[in-house]
Amino acid sequence: MVEDVFTRHGRIDILVNNAGIGVYGKSEGVPAEEWEGAVSVMLSGVFFTSQAVGRVMISRGRGSIVNIASIGGMGGWPLRAAYNAAKAGVINLTEVLAAEPDNPRARLAAELLASEAHRGTNARARAFVAQGGGCRATFFNYRRRLAGGGS
């Protein structure tokens, strides 16, 4: 997929990873196949897609990766073990990608997290955004860039 896009367009400027699968139920009853499927899509998919596209971006010396996470990744919601664990993984993975040398700019675009912080309804979300979203960028910065404003 990455090679096809690069061949057709000659560059990849941005990657947006946005995936979610609802696996609901008590943790002790979640079948292994459902857990593995959810984590595969929501976390492993983000990692391996970022890895493939990141190689192209690093070779060009530019590009942005935006990972859509969730406020669910910052705490426990009942009956959503796989979803919350995978989204917590996306948040931490994004921080790792942003901290590694020579990586394209990794941005954490956690829309629910940012909107909760903006409304002031979640102290952890407000603190996370106040710290720069862990990656020194938030959904609002990304949205501003798309609208033609600065970062």
Annotated catalytic residues are 83
Strands (E) located in the chain:
14-17, 64-67, 105-108
DSSP 41: I
Whose tokens are 């990972």? That residue is: 67
Q: Residue 45: phi, psi to the nearest 5? A: -60, -40
Burial of 14 (0-12, 13-18, 19+ CB in 10 A): middle
| Entry field: residues in the chain | 151
Residue 73 structure tokens: 């990744």
Q: For residues 114 and 128, is the Cβ–Cβ distance under 8 A?
A: no
Q: For residues 82 and 121, is the Cβ–Cβ distance under 8 A?
A: no
